[in-house]
Amino acid sequence: MQIILATSNKGKVREIQSLFEKDEVVPFSELLGPMEIEENGSTFAENALIKARTIFEKLGRDDAIVISDDSGITVPAVNGEPGIYSARYAGAGASDKDNLSKLVDELKKRGMKEAPAFYTAAIAIVAPNAEYVVHGWMHGKAIDTPRGEGGFGYDPIFVPEGFDETIGELDPAIKKELSHRSKALKLAKPIIEMLRSQ
Ligand code: ITT
Protein backbone atom coordinates (compact mmCIF):
# COMPACT_ATOMS: atom_id res chain seq x y z
CA MET A 1 0.00 0.00 0.00
CA GLN A 2 1.30 3.44 -0.94
CA ILE A 3 1.62 6.05 1.83
CA ILE A 4 0.15 9.39 0.78
CA LEU A 5 1.07 12.48 2.76
CA ALA A 6 -1.82 14.93 3.33
CA THR A 7 0.26 18.09 3.73
CA SER A 8 1.25 21.07 1.60
CA ASN A 9 3.98 22.15 4.03
CA LYS A 10 7.40 21.54 2.42
CA GLY A 11 9.17 21.46 5.81
CA LYS A 12 6.88 18.65 6.99
CA VAL A 13 7.29 16.73 3.71
CA ARG A 14 11.09 16.94 4.02
CA GLU A 15 11.10 15.78 7.66
CA ILE A 16 8.56 12.99 7.21
CA GLN A 17 10.23 11.64 4.05
CA SER A 18 13.57 11.54 5.87
CA LEU A 19 12.08 9.06 8.37
CA PHE A 20 10.93 6.61 5.69
CA GLU A 21 12.65 4.83 2.79
CA LYS A 22 13.20 7.02 -0.27
CA ASP A 23 10.02 7.41 -2.40
CA GLU A 24 7.95 5.46 0.14
CA VAL A 25 5.90 8.54 1.03
CA VAL A 26 4.26 10.62 -1.71
CA PRO A 27 2.81 14.12 -1.11
CA PHE A 28 -0.86 14.24 -2.16
CA SER A 29 -0.25 17.16 -4.53
CA GLU A 30 1.70 14.82 -6.86
CA LEU A 31 -1.51 12.82 -7.36
CA LEU A 32 -4.29 15.39 -6.91
CA GLY A 33 -2.62 18.75 -7.54
CA PRO A 34 -2.67 21.61 -5.04
CA MET A 35 -5.67 21.83 -2.71
CA GLU A 36 -6.73 23.96 0.28
CA ILE A 37 -8.30 22.01 3.14
CA GLU A 38 -10.33 23.93 5.72
CA GLU A 39 -9.09 23.07 9.21
CA ASN A 40 -12.02 23.89 11.48
CA GLY A 41 -11.34 21.45 14.32
CA SER A 42 -10.64 22.62 17.85
CA THR A 43 -7.66 20.34 18.55
CA PHE A 44 -4.54 19.18 16.72
CA ALA A 45 -6.04 15.68 16.57
CA GLU A 46 -9.30 16.88 14.99
CA ASN A 47 -7.47 18.93 12.38
CA ALA A 48 -5.11 16.06 11.56
CA LEU A 49 -8.10 13.75 11.00
CA ILE A 50 -9.88 16.36 8.84
CA LYS A 51 -6.83 16.58 6.53
CA ALA A 52 -6.23 12.82 6.26
CA ARG A 53 -9.93 12.00 5.74
CA THR A 54 -10.29 14.70 3.06
CA ILE A 55 -7.38 13.34 1.02
CA PHE A 56 -8.42 9.70 1.57
CA GLU A 57 -11.92 10.48 0.24
CA LYS A 58 -10.60 12.49 -2.74
CA LEU A 59 -8.22 9.67 -3.70
CA GLY A 60 -11.05 7.13 -3.54
CA ARG A 61 -8.56 4.24 -3.41
CA ASP A 62 -8.66 1.15 -1.25
CA ASP A 63 -4.91 0.55 -1.61
CA ALA A 64 -3.71 3.77 0.02
CA ILE A 65 -2.77 4.82 3.53
CA VAL A 66 -3.04 8.56 4.08
CA ILE A 67 -1.09 10.25 6.84
CA SER A 68 -1.34 13.88 7.93
CA ASP A 69 0.37 16.07 10.50
CA ASP A 70 -1.27 18.87 12.43
CA SER A 71 1.19 20.69 14.59
CA GLY A 72 2.10 23.93 16.27
CA ILE A 73 3.84 25.70 19.10
CA THR A 74 2.15 26.55 22.41
CA VAL A 75 3.39 29.25 24.80
CA PRO A 76 1.47 29.02 28.09
CA ALA A 77 2.57 32.54 29.19
CA VAL A 78 1.03 33.95 25.98
CA ASN A 79 -2.44 32.49 26.71
CA GLY A 80 -1.43 29.20 25.09
CA GLU A 81 -1.00 30.93 21.72
CA PRO A 82 -0.57 30.25 18.87
CA GLY A 83 -1.38 26.52 19.39
CA ILE A 84 -3.62 25.15 16.63
CA TYR A 85 -3.45 28.58 14.95
CA SER A 86 0.35 28.42 14.48
CA ALA A 87 0.16 28.44 10.66
CA ARG A 88 -2.15 31.50 10.61
CA TYR A 89 -1.11 33.38 13.77
CA ALA A 90 -0.46 36.63 11.90
CA GLY A 91 -3.60 36.16 9.75
CA ALA A 92 -4.88 33.90 6.97
CA GLY A 93 -2.12 33.16 4.46
CA ALA A 94 0.59 34.68 6.67
CA SER A 95 4.17 33.58 6.01
CA ASP A 96 6.25 31.61 8.55
CA LYS A 97 8.29 34.79 9.04
CA ASP A 98 5.22 36.91 9.87
CA ASN A 99 3.89 34.29 12.31
CA LEU A 100 7.28 34.09 14.05
CA SER A 101 7.43 37.93 14.26
CA LYS A 102 4.00 38.03 15.86
CA LEU A 103 5.08 35.58 18.57
CA VAL A 104 8.25 37.63 19.16
CA ASP A 105 6.07 40.78 19.49
CA GLU A 106 3.76 39.04 21.97
CA LEU A 107 6.77 38.04 24.12
CA LYS A 108 8.20 41.57 23.95
CA LYS A 109 4.81 43.14 24.80
CA ARG A 110 4.89 41.16 28.03
CA GLY A 111 8.53 42.10 28.75
CA MET A 112 9.64 38.47 28.35
CA LYS A 113 12.97 37.61 26.73
CA GLU A 114 11.99 33.93 26.82
CA ALA A 115 9.12 31.71 27.96
CA PRO A 116 8.53 27.96 28.34
CA ALA A 117 7.02 26.54 25.16
CA PHE A 118 6.32 23.23 23.50
CA TYR A 119 5.64 21.88 20.05
CA THR A 120 2.83 19.35 19.50
CA ALA A 121 2.36 17.07 16.50
CA ALA A 122 -0.76 14.99 15.92
CA ILE A 123 -0.30 12.43 13.15
CA ALA A 124 -3.51 10.95 11.72
CA ILE A 125 -3.48 7.69 9.78
CA VAL A 126 -6.50 6.93 7.59
CA ALA A 127 -6.80 3.67 5.64
CA PRO A 128 -9.72 1.52 4.47
CA ASN A 129 -11.79 0.82 7.62
CA ALA A 130 -9.16 2.24 9.97
CA GLU A 131 -8.37 5.58 11.61
CA TYR A 132 -5.71 6.36 14.21
CA VAL A 133 -4.18 9.49 15.77
CA VAL A 134 -0.87 9.58 17.66
CA HIS A 135 0.90 12.53 19.31
CA GLY A 136 4.44 13.70 20.01
CA TRP A 137 5.76 16.68 21.93
CA MET A 138 9.05 18.63 22.16
CA HIS A 139 9.52 20.87 25.19
CA GLY A 140 11.79 23.88 25.55
CA LYS A 141 11.49 27.66 25.42
CA ALA A 142 10.59 30.40 22.94
CA ILE A 143 13.04 33.33 22.83
CA ASP A 144 12.57 36.92 21.63
CA THR A 145 15.45 36.94 19.10
CA PRO A 146 15.48 34.61 16.05
CA ARG A 147 18.75 32.73 15.49
CA GLY A 148 19.75 30.31 12.70
CA GLU A 149 18.33 29.32 9.34
CA GLY A 150 17.63 25.61 9.83
CA GLY A 151 14.25 23.90 10.13
CA PHE A 152 11.14 25.94 9.35
CA GLY A 153 8.34 27.88 11.03
CA TYR A 154 9.14 28.87 14.61
CA ASP A 155 12.44 26.91 14.76
CA PRO A 156 14.68 30.04 14.83
CA ILE A 157 13.09 31.07 18.18
CA PHE A 158 12.72 27.60 19.75
CA VAL A 159 15.43 26.32 22.11
CA PRO A 160 14.84 22.65 23.02
CA GLU A 161 15.34 21.47 26.60
CA GLY A 162 19.00 20.57 27.28
CA PHE A 163 20.41 22.94 24.59
CA ASP A 164 21.46 26.61 24.36
CA GLU A 165 21.00 26.87 20.58
CA THR A 166 17.74 27.23 18.66
CA ILE A 167 16.54 24.47 16.35
CA GLY A 168 17.43 26.93 13.58
CA GLU A 169 21.08 26.71 14.69
CA LEU A 170 21.31 23.02 15.63
CA ASP A 171 22.24 20.20 13.25
CA PRO A 172 19.08 18.81 11.55
CA ALA A 173 20.02 15.38 12.99
CA ILE A 174 19.25 16.76 16.46
CA LYS A 175 15.76 17.88 15.43
CA LYS A 176 15.26 14.45 13.84
CA GLU A 177 16.11 12.89 17.18
CA LEU A 178 14.09 15.22 19.43
CA SER A 179 11.16 16.58 17.52
CA HIS A 180 7.46 16.27 18.25
CA ARG A 181 7.01 15.04 14.64
CA SER A 182 9.70 12.32 14.95
CA LYS A 183 8.22 11.12 18.23
CA ALA A 184 4.70 10.92 16.79
CA LEU A 185 6.01 9.18 13.65
CA LYS A 186 7.83 6.58 15.76
CA LEU A 187 4.41 5.71 17.20
CA ALA A 188 2.78 5.86 13.76
CA LYS A 189 5.27 3.54 12.04
CA PRO A 190 4.19 0.22 13.60
CA ILE A 191 0.53 1.12 12.92
CA ILE A 192 1.37 1.82 9.27
CA GLU A 193 3.33 -1.45 9.01
CA MET A 194 0.37 -3.35 10.51
CA LEU A 195 -2.07 -1.77 8.03
CA ARG A 196 0.27 -2.52 5.11
CA SER A 197 0.54 -6.16 6.06
CA GLN A 198 -3.26 -6.70 6.12
P1 ITT B 1 -0.60 21.43 6.23
O2 ITT B 1 -1.88 21.78 6.98
O3 ITT B 1 -0.75 21.43 4.75
O4 ITT B 1 0.04 20.19 6.76
P5 ITT B 1 0.38 23.80 7.61
O6 ITT B 1 1.69 24.52 7.63
O7 ITT B 1 -0.86 24.62 7.37
O8 ITT B 1 0.47 22.61 6.52
P9 ITT B 1 -0.49 23.18 10.32
O10 ITT B 1 -1.85 23.73 10.15
O11 ITT B 1 -0.29 21.88 11.05
O12 ITT B 1 0.24 22.96 8.93
O13 ITT B 1 0.39 24.30 11.01
C14 ITT B 1 1.65 24.00 11.50
C15 ITT B 1 2.43 25.27 11.79
O16 ITT B 1 3.07 25.11 13.06
C17 ITT B 1 3.54 25.44 10.77
O18 ITT B 1 3.13 26.25 9.70
C19 ITT B 1 4.63 26.07 11.61
O20 ITT B 1 4.42 27.44 11.70
C21 ITT B 1 4.40 25.45 12.99
N22 ITT B 1 5.21 24.23 13.16
C23 ITT B 1 4.77 22.94 13.20
N24 ITT B 1 5.80 22.10 13.32
C25 ITT B 1 6.91 22.85 13.31
C26 ITT B 1 8.28 22.56 13.38
O27 ITT B 1 8.73 21.31 13.42
N28 ITT B 1 9.13 23.57 13.36
C29 ITT B 1 8.70 24.84 13.28
N30 ITT B 1 7.44 25.22 13.20
C31 ITT B 1 6.53 24.22 13.23
Q: What is the pLDDT of residues 99-144, one digit of tens each?
A: 999 999 999 999 999 999 999 999 999 999 999 999 999 999 999 9
Distance of CA 134 to the CA centre of its chain: 12
Whether residue 154 has its Cβ less than 6 Å from ligand 1: yes
Q: 163 pLDDT band (50/70/90 cuts)?
A: very high
Domains of the chain: 2-196 (3.90.950.10)
Task: State the distance from the centre of ligand 1 to the C-alpha of 144, rounded, in angstroms.
Answer: 20
Q: What is the ipTM of this complex?
A: 0.98
pLDDT at 146 over 90: yes
Could you tell me what percent of the chain has a pLDDT over 90?
Answer: 93
> Residue 105 catalytic?
no
Answer yes or no: is 40 a known binding residue: no
pLDDT at 112: 98
Mean pLDDT of the chain: 96
pLDDT at 22 over 80: no
**Long-range contacts from 77-84, C-beta under 8 angstroms, 24+ separation:** 77/110, 77/112, 77/115, 77/116, 78/103, 78/106, 78/107, 78/110, 78/115, 81/106, 84/39, 84/41, 84/42, 84/43, 84/44, 84/47
pLDDT at 23: 81
From atom 18 of ligand 1, which residue's Cα is the shortest distance away?
Answer: 87
Tell which wins on pLDDT, 23 or 39. 39
pLDDT at 152: 95
Distance of CA 170 to the CA centre of its chain: 18
Between helices 180-196 and 10-17, what is the axis angle to 10°? 60
Whether residue 160 has its Cβ less than 6 Å from ligand 1: no
Phi, psi of 179 (to 5 degrees): -70, 155
pLDDT at 45 over 90: yes
Task: State the distance from the centre of ligand 1 to the C-alpha of 105, rounded, in angstroms.
Answer: 19
pLDDT at 142: 98
Q: Which whole number is the average pLDDT over 19-37?
A: 91
Whether residue 106 has its Cβ less than 6 Å from ligand 1: no
